[in-house]
Amino acid sequence: MKRLTIVITLLLVAGGIAIFKLATYDPLANETMTDMTDLSTWEPTTAQIRAQLDANASPLQRKQHYGRLFRSRYRAKSMAVNLRVDRDGVFYLECAATLPTWDKALIAHQAWAEIRELFGERPRLLIYESYIGTISRRVGEARASANNPAVPEVVFDTGWHLRRKPQRTDFLGKLPGS
């Protein structure tokens, strides 16, 4: 009888704690995902970047400066995103492997459209993901849509290693041509 009383008391205390937790739970209080519904309002905005780009600098220097400003936009939101450019004008978007694919697609879409707007060209934008301490692995690219060249199309292909031997271009160490 004494054991039964102890068990019932423990169950009542545990139930009371559970009810208290449910009653005081606020799902927004511990939000871990960044709200990416309107990237165009994140600073620096495209207009702010345009104002900061030096018109007297070489095209490569302007693109590299754009990459730094683009990176600062996401670092301000604690997102591991980097945009680099090589001497041939190829852009490399590096994202943490922990970012969901749909977020990488949004970021790549925005980068492609901004590069087109700021520099007047259809960029070649390769998407890489990386883990801490490893080299980046190519997972996709953003390119002009076949139906409408003014709109980007983001394509992911993570099964490259299943169809062929990995190529050197599948991994990003030091930028080519730099």
**Residue 19, in any domain of the structure:** no
* 6-63 residue pLDDT tens: 888 888 888 878 787 777 766 565 556 677 778 888 999 999 999 999 989 999 999 9
Q: Quote the pTM value.
A: 0.75
Among the listed residues 55, 167, 12, the one whose alpha carbon sits nearest the alpha carbon of residue 176:
167
**Residue 1, in any domain of the structure:** no
* 97-115 residue pLDDT tens: 999 999 999 999 999 999 9
**Residue 60, in any domain of the structure:** yes
**Residue 69, in any domain of the structure:** yes
Amino acid at 91: F
For the chain, what is the domain count? Answer: 1
**Residue 99, in any domain of the structure:** yes
Number of Cβ within 10 Å of residue 109's Cβ equals 17
- 157 lies in which domain range? 34-172
**Residue 48, in any domain of the structure:** yes
Q: What is the DSSP letter of 169?
A: G
**Residue 27, in any domain of the structure:** no
**Residue 61, in any domain of the structure:** yes
The phi, psi pair for 106, rounded to 5°, reads -60, -45
